[in-house]
Structure 1
Amino acid sequence: MSATSAPVLEPAETVSDLSARRGHSPAQRLQHLLHRRPALSPLAVLIIAIVIFSLVNARFYSAVNLSLVAQQTAVIGSLAVGQTLIILTAGIDLSVGAIMVLACFIAANLVYTDHTPVPLALLVAVLVSVVAQAINGLLVTRIKLPPFIVTLGTFNAFTAITLIYAKGQTITLNPGSGLLWTGESFLIGNFRVTYGVVLMAGLYLVIAYALRCTAWGRHLYATGDDAEAARLAGINTRRVLLSAYLVAGLVIAVSAWILAGRVGGADPNSGLNANLESITAVVIGGTSLFGGRGSLIGSLLGALIVQVFDNGLALAGVDANYQVLAVGVLVIAAVSVDQWIRKVKA
């Protein structure tokens, strides 16, 4: 047999790699690439959107406007961290925004009415968020209720509790209050960055490390991908699912602090659409609604895409209704791409 009768595989090259390199069409190779790197799709969309909106209106890429986009992303971007954890387990959480507003209002009220020290008020906000998510997690893991139904019910419950507790009032805190620290800013060159944006970035770094470099993160992905297979492999899937909700509770408490700095206190009607906006960011960011595939960087890109589209279309003079339409089309396109990617074959 001649030396050229069969391809020679490098030590690290598998048969499937060779097939992907030689036997697949360009579309199939793209499908494989997006399956391995789900964040590439939203990154491409974000770059294209920035280029187009910069050409439409030169004010878009000004330091002032880009700083505004970053500040607008902080609340939903941080909330998307917690939402990503839930969606990675093949669940969905419709209550994250309601819990965030409740925690924010309780903390602000403690500082404003009872003159509670800010660290203690923040600790109470953490306790409220974690307990609320523990309720969600226990209903899902112990009683085996669908996450969609559970969080739809608790969304209404937590929203009602906030409105009853607030009695129709808003709270405006004095500038300089530690609870408003996340709304303060500093300059990096010509860019004005709030501490809320920095806190959001810190959330992404910490949780991304946990997902990528710890056994907990690997178990979370495995549980979302195939809960039964994960259980047979020795993973306590109920504990993993519950931990995802509890960690999301911690993230929501941080989001509540960022929200307080953003609105200058607390408003029971703030964040009304935060639940759906966080899901939108995660889905556009390439995290699969079927669980087990996705990344936090994708969720951040998704949150940025939503804000870039809103800001860019506004600067272009497009009616606000069309801005909502554009986001809706993006969500449908993202889910369609996810369905296509999930059909990948070796």
Structure 2
Amino acid sequence: MGAASDSPAPARTRGGATRWAVLARSPLVGPLVALLVAVVVFAVITDTFLRPTNLSLILQQSVVIGILAVAQTIVILTAGIDLSIGAVAVLGTIVLAKVGGEHGPLVAIVAAAAVLAVVGLVNGALVAWVHLPPFIVTLGVFTAMYAATQLYAGSQVYPVAKGPLTWLGTKLSFGGLTITTGVLAMLLLYLLAWYVLSHTAAGRHLYAVGGAPEAARLTGIRSGRVLVITYLVAGVVAVVAAWAALGRIPNADPNAYQNANLETITAVVIGGTSLFGGRGSVLGTLVGTLIVAVLRNGLTQAGVDNLYQNIATGALVIAAVALDQVSRRRVQT
């Protein structure tokens, strides 16, 4: 009886060890640990970091980049990149403001969605069917969109009246924490993207196209169509970011968010998504977005100059890519 009763314990130990080993290898663990360490460090070196008002500010500041990072994630998972996503979102803010002022918010949202979807469709078509490198395509579209936005806006800033177009800036209080409807929209978008990528055939196809394109072709996946849809969806997501931007600041400025392209890539890479495609998750991107927001906010609270903040962020990106390279080599060997 004694021997029989003792035998299950090692099995549970081995099972627990196995589960911990699997958890430790998860690409989400590293970003979560980094986020926790950053929070602890800034909580120790500053007196204001953990105040509810500051935590609320961090969440609100992460909304626009966080939403755009969803679009950047699905593009990078296909082994692509979208350098135009920030400029496309800024164009969306101008369309929302100008059309909204003339024809109302509903028409403005539909018009912005149509325009940005067309831009995404052009990106996808050039990458998938003309077989141009995503870097070159989206860099060219970035330049064109920046110029087109300036021309369409007449280099002017358009104020937006309080109403449906600023609705994503509505504040909600939960105890001592105040967030906006934009934060909730961002979280819902991440939840939706996670479900699609993890639990649908479309998500599996997207990972396959990015991680094993030849195998995807041999299994009958239409890679071109997957790429076109991916860039199209990225354009539509940019509409949500543009809407959230007007909720943050009710002015459509053609010069806004000039670094959004790089900031979204930073969030995606720090969140553990491979720049080589086929590996990563939007949940990691959400954590990466929060890491960047916490880092900038904490360094600001500590009185660190913005230039040094950029150096720290750049070093973090390089470290994340280096770790990704090492991880890929281990998998290949």
Partner of 1:233: 219
Is the contact between residue 69 and residue 308 of structure 1 (CA under 8 Å) also seen in structure 2?
yes
Aligned positions of 1:292-307 closer than 5 A: 292-307=278-293
CA distance in 1 between counterparts of 2:204 and 2:60 reads 32
Partner of 1:275: 261
Partner of 1:106: 95
CA drift of 1:130 comes to: 0.6
Q: Does residue 334 in structure 1 map to residue 326 in structure 2?
A: no
Q: Give the paired residue count.
A: 319
Is the contact between residue 180 and residue 265 of structure 1 (CA under 8 Å) also seen in structure 2?
no
CA distance in 2 between counterparts of 1:317 and 1:120 reads 44
Amino acid at match of 1:160: A
Amino acid at match of 2:129: R
2:96 is paired with a residue whose SS is helix
Q: Percent identity?
A: 50
CA drift of 1:252 comes to: 0.8
CA drift of 1:201 comes to: 0.8
CA distance in 1 between counterparts of 2:50 and 2:219 reads 50
1:339 is paired with a residue whose SS is helix
1:301 is paired with a residue whose SS is helix
Amino acid at match of 2:264: S
Q: Does residue 214 in structure 1 map to residue 200 in structure 2?
A: yes
Aligned positions of 1:116-131 closer than 5 A: 116-131=103-118
Q: 232-241 or 289-298, which moves further after superposition?
A: 232-241
CA distance in 2 between counterparts of 1:106 and 1:158 reads 12
CA distance in 1 between counterparts of 2:188 and 2:113 reads 17
Q: Does residue 147 in structure 1 map to residue 154 in structure 2?
A: no
Partner of 1:178: 164
Cα shift readout 1:43-77 (whole Å, capped 9, x = no counterpart): 11000000000000121000000000000000000
Q: Gaps (5+ residues) in structure 1?
A: 1-16, 22-28
1:187 is aligned, of 173, 180, 190, to 173
2:84 is aligned, of 82, 86, 95, to 95
CA drift of 1:135 comes to: 0.3
Q: 36-45 or 150-159, which moves further after superposition?
A: 36-45
CA distance in 1 between counterparts of 2:104 and 2:94 reads 15
1:101 is paired with a residue whose SS is helix
CA distance in 1 between counterparts of 2:29 and 2:329 reads 18
Amino acid at match of 1:108: A
Partner of 2:41: 52
Partner of 2:308: 322
Amino acid at match of 2:98: N
CA drift of 1:265 comes to: 2.6
Aligned positions of 1:153-172 closer than 5 A: 153-172=140-159
CA drift of 1:263 comes to: 1.6
Partner of 1:14: none
Is the contact between residue 100 and residue 106 of structure 2 (CA under 8 Å) also seen in structure 1?
no
CA distance in 1 between counterparts of 2:104 and 2:306 reads 41
Cα shift readout 1:97-121 (whole Å, capped 9, x = no counterpart): 0110001111111122x1x221221
1:343 is paired with a residue whose SS is helix
Cα shift readout 1:293-338 (whole Å, capped 9, x = no counterpart): 0000111111111110110001111111111111001001100111
The TM-score, its normalising length taken from structure 2, stands at 0.92
Partner of 1:13: none
Q: Gaps (5+ residues) in structure 2?
A: 1-13
Amino acid at match of 1:148: F
1:59 is paired with a residue whose SS is coil
Partner of 2:3: none
1:82 is aligned, of 59, 71, 83, to 71
Is the contact between residue 100 and residue 107 of structure 2 (CA under 8 Å) also seen in structure 1?
no
1:284 is aligned, of 255, 259, 270, to 270
Q: Does residue 251 in structure 1 map to residue 237 in structure 2?
A: yes
Amino acid at match of 1:136: N
Is the contact between residue 181 and residue 195 of structure 1 (CA under 8 Å) also seen in structure 2?
yes
CA drift of 1:222 comes to: 0.7
Amino acid at match of 1:93: D
Partner of 2:210: 224
1:58 is paired with a residue whose SS is coil
Amino acid at match of 1:241: L
Partner of 1:42: 31
The TM-score, its normalising length taken from structure 1, stands at 0.89
Q: Does residue 261 in structure 1 map to residue 244 in structure 2?
A: no
CA drift of 1:174 comes to: 2.3
